Amino acid sequence: MLPTAPYGTWPSPIDATLAASHDGRPEYAGTVGEEVWWTEPRPAEAGRRALVRRRADGSEESVLPAPWNVRSRVIEYGGVPWAGAERPRGGPLVVFVHFPDQRLYAYEPDGGGEPRPLTPVSATGGGLRWADPRIHLERGEVWCVLEEFTGERPTDVRRVIAAVPLDGSAAGDRAAVRELTDDRHRFVTGPRLSPDGRHAAWIAWDHPHMPWDGTVVMVGEVGETGPFTGIRALVGDTGESVPQVEWAPDGSLLFVSDAGGWWEPRRVRPDALAGGAAVSTALCPGRREEFGGPLWKIGVQWFLPLENGLIAVIHGKGTTALGILDPETGDLVDAAGPWTDWAATLAVQGTRVIGVAASPRSGYEVVELDTVTGRARVIGAAHRDPVDPAYYPEPLERTFTGPGGREIHAHLYPPHSPDRAAPDDELPPYVVWAHGGPTGHAPFVLDLEIAYFTSRGIGVAEVNYGGSTGYGRAYRERLREQWGVVDVEDCAAVARALADEGTADGSRLAVRGGSAGGWTTAASLTTTDVYACGTISYPILDLLGWATDETHDFESQYLESLIGPLAEVPARYHDRSPLNQVDGITAPFLLLQGLDDVICPPAQCERFLARVADREIPHAYIAFEGEGHGFRRADTLIRALEAELSLYAQTFGIDRTDVPRLELRK
**pLDDT per position as a tens digit, 595-624:** 999 999 999 999 999 999 988 999 999 999
Average confidence (pLDDT) over 19-36: 95
**501, part of any domain:** yes
What DSSP string describes 571-590? HHHHHH-GGG-GGG--S-EE
Question: Quick one: pLDDT at residue 551?
Answer: 95
Distance CA 634, CA 657 (A): 22
**36, part of any domain:** no
C-alpha separations of 400 from 409, 469, 506, 511 in Å = 6, 17, 17, 17
**93, part of any domain:** no
Question: Quick one: pLDDT at residue 534?
Answer: 98
**39, part of any domain:** no
Average confidence (pLDDT) over 638-662: 96
**310, part of any domain:** no
Question: Quick one: pLDDT at residue 276?
Answer: 61
Average confidence (pLDDT) over 639-647: 98
**529, part of any domain:** yes
| CB hemisphere CA count around 160 (13 angstroms) | 17
Res 349 pLDDT > 80: yes
State the CATH number of the domain containing residue 633: 3.40.50.1820
User: Which amino acid is present at 209?
Assistant: H
Distance CA 67, CA 65 (A): 6
Res 83 pLDDT > 90: yes
Q: Is 408 exposed, middle or buried (0-12, 13-18, 19+ CB in 10 A)?
A: buried
347 three-class SS: strand
Distance CA 465, CA 436 (A): 11
Average confidence (pLDDT) over 346-361: 97
**556, part of any domain:** yes
**pLDDT per position as a tens digit, 183-225:** 999 999 999 999 999 999 999 999 999 999 999 999 999 998 8
**pLDDT per position as a tens digit, 215-226:** 999 999 999 888
**pLDDT per position as a tens digit, 415-448:** 999 999 999 999 999 999 999 999 999 999 999 9
Average confidence (pLDDT) over 310-315: 98
35: β partners: 32
- Alpha helices (H) in 9-151, listed in sequence order: 16-21
Residue 645's contacts (CB-CB under 8 Å, 6 or more residues apart) are 16, 452, 453, 456, 656, 659
Residue 169's contacts (CB-CB under 8 Å, 6 or more residues apart) are 176
pLDDT > 90 fraction of the chain, expressed in percent and rounded: 94
How many structural domains does the chain have? Answer: 1
**pLDDT per position as a tens digit, 573-586:** 999 999 999 999 99
pLDDT > 70 fraction of the chain, expressed in percent and rounded: 99
pTM of the entire predicted model? 0.96
Confidence of residue 77 (pLDDT cuts 50, 70, 90): very high
**523, part of any domain:** yes
Confidence of residue 278 (pLDDT cuts 50, 70, 90): confident
| Of 245, 255, 241, the residue nearest 210 (C-alpha) | 241
Distance CA 275, CA 510 (A): 57
Q: How many CB atoms sit inside 10 A of residue 417's CB?
A: 19
CB 351 within 8 A of CB 372: yes
* Domain range enclosing 483: 389-652
153 three-class SS: coil
273-279: long-range contacts, CB 8 A cutoff, minimum separation 24: 273/199, 273/219, 273/234, 278/234, 278/235
Res 273 pLDDT > 80: no
Question: Quick one: pLDDT at residue 426?
Answer: 97
**pLDDT per position as a tens digit, 617-639:** 999 999 999 999 999 999 999 99
Computed over every residue of the chain, the mean pLDDT equals 96
601 three-class SS: coil
Average confidence (pLDDT) over 338-352: 97
Average confidence (pLDDT) over 50-75: 96
Confidence of residue 277 (pLDDT cuts 50, 70, 90): low
Question: Quick one: pLDDT at residue 615?
Answer: 87
Q: What angle do CA 97, 356, 107 make, to 5 degrees?
A: 25
Res 138 pLDDT > 80: yes
Confidence of residue 316 (pLDDT cuts 50, 70, 90): very high
- Alpha helices (H) in 472-537, listed in sequence order: 473-476, 486-500, 516-527
Distance CA 316, CA 631 (A): 29
